[in-house]
């Protein structure tokens, strides 16, 4: 039995992914803070919506998907009811496995996960790290739960803040890029919807080529950059405006902000 505690956007996306992957609604429990939310989850998914305490007592795997600021409260509530053989998966940005372990106060295995919004379309990038008491079997079990909603990578916990900045926030950078390119299309006199179609299909096509060809991005870019041609004229402008340096600085700033938020 799997329980999702604090079933908001991320919890619901994970739950619907598990159901699409073949888990039965009888194998999943959810918890919510508000009665209307509980009712909506029951109605949409047919899962049992229970209290945090009941979930902690009866599920083998607890997936915590509350916001980071709600984590301490949730852990304090369930602490007396979490036996040491439960797997606890924490999906809250910036919350360390040590924080969860110290609040639960037992040798409970904890795995930390950072996922991203494409979880909604089964294309998430989820990175996972084991806590002090989590071993191979716990990582493998976590991978099995997350694989239906995208790709899963194991990383040392020391790299979680960097992963949050790179792939956790990553989709936002691409949305921003699309926005900027659509503006360029409009500047060139194109209708907004046509520009959006062209840019969206270009980013989807490029992403699939990158993922499926296994080629380095430099090789793929060079293939469409002819000497003295149009693409190199654009690249020259991107370089002149230090776009690469801006990405390095931006993602470093996101990592630093994540650390600040985690420190409270």
- Judged by CB under 6 A, the stretch of 61-69, 189-197, 199-207, 242-250 that binds ligand NAP is 61-69
| Contact present, 98 and 78 (Cβ < 8 Å) | no
Q: Which of 92, 108, 128, 182 binds ligand NAP (CB under 6 A)?
A: 92
Closer CB to ligand NAP, residue 34 or residue 240?
34
Residue closest to 65 by CA, chosen among 11, 112, 129 = 11
Q: Which of 23, 37, 79, 151 binds ligand NAP (CB under 6 A)?
A: 37
Q: Is 7 annotated to bind ligand?
A: yes
DSSP-derived letter for residue 33 is S
Sheet holding 28-31, edge to edge: 48-49, 28-31, 2-5, 61-64, 87-90, 110-114, 124-130, 150-154
As a whole number of angstroms, the distance between CA 172 and CA 163 comes to: 14
Q: How far is the CB of 233 from ligand NAP (least distance, A)?
A: 37
Q: How far is the CB of 114 from ligand NAP (least distance, A)?
A: 6
Q: Is 71 annotated to bind ligand?
A: no
| Contact present, 148 and 158 (Cβ < 8 Å) | no
As a whole number of angstroms, the distance between CA 179 and CA 170 comes to: 15
Q: Is 117 annotated to bind ligand?
A: no
Q: Which of 25, 117, 159, 225 binds ligand NAP (CB under 6 A)?
A: 117
Task: List the interface residues with ligand NAP, window 146-175 (CB under 6 A).
Answer: 168
Binding residue numbers: 5-10, 52
Binding site for ligand NAP (CB under 6 A): 6, 8-11, 31-34, 37, 52, 65-68, 70, 73-74, 91-93, 114-117, 168
């Amino acid at each position: 039995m799997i329980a999702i505690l604090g079933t908001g956007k991320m919890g619901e996306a994970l739950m619907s992914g598990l159901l699409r992957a073949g888990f039965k609604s009888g194998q999943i429990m959810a918890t919510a803070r508000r009665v209307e939310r509980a009712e909506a989850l029951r109605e949409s998914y047919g899962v049992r919506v229970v209290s945090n305490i009941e979930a902690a007592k009866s599920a083998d795997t607890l997936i915590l998907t509350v916001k980071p600021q709600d984590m301490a409260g949730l852990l304090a509530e369930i602490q007396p009811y979490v036996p040491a053989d439960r797997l606890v998966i924490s999906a809250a940005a910036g919350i360390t496995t040590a924080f969860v372990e110290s609040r639960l106060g037992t040798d409970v295995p904890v795995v930390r996960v950072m996922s991203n919004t494409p979880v909604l379309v089964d294309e998430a990038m989820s990175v996972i790290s084991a806590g002090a008491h989590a071993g191979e079997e716990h990582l493998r079990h976590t991978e099995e739960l997350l694989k239906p909603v995208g790709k899963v990578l194991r990383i040392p916990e020391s790299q979680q803040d960097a992963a949050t900045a790179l792939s956790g926030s990553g989709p936002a950078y691409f949305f921003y890029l699309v926005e900027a390119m659509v503006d360029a299309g409009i500047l060139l006199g194109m209708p907004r919807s046509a520009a959006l179609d062209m840019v969206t299909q270009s980013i989807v096509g490029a992403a699939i080529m990158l993922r499926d060809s296994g080629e380095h991005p430099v090789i793929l870019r060079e293939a469409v950059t002819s000497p003295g041609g149009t693409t190199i004229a654009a690249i020259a402008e991107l370089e002149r405006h230090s776009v690469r340096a801006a990405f390095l600085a931006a993602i470093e700033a996101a990592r630093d902000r994540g650390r600040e938020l985690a420190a409270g």
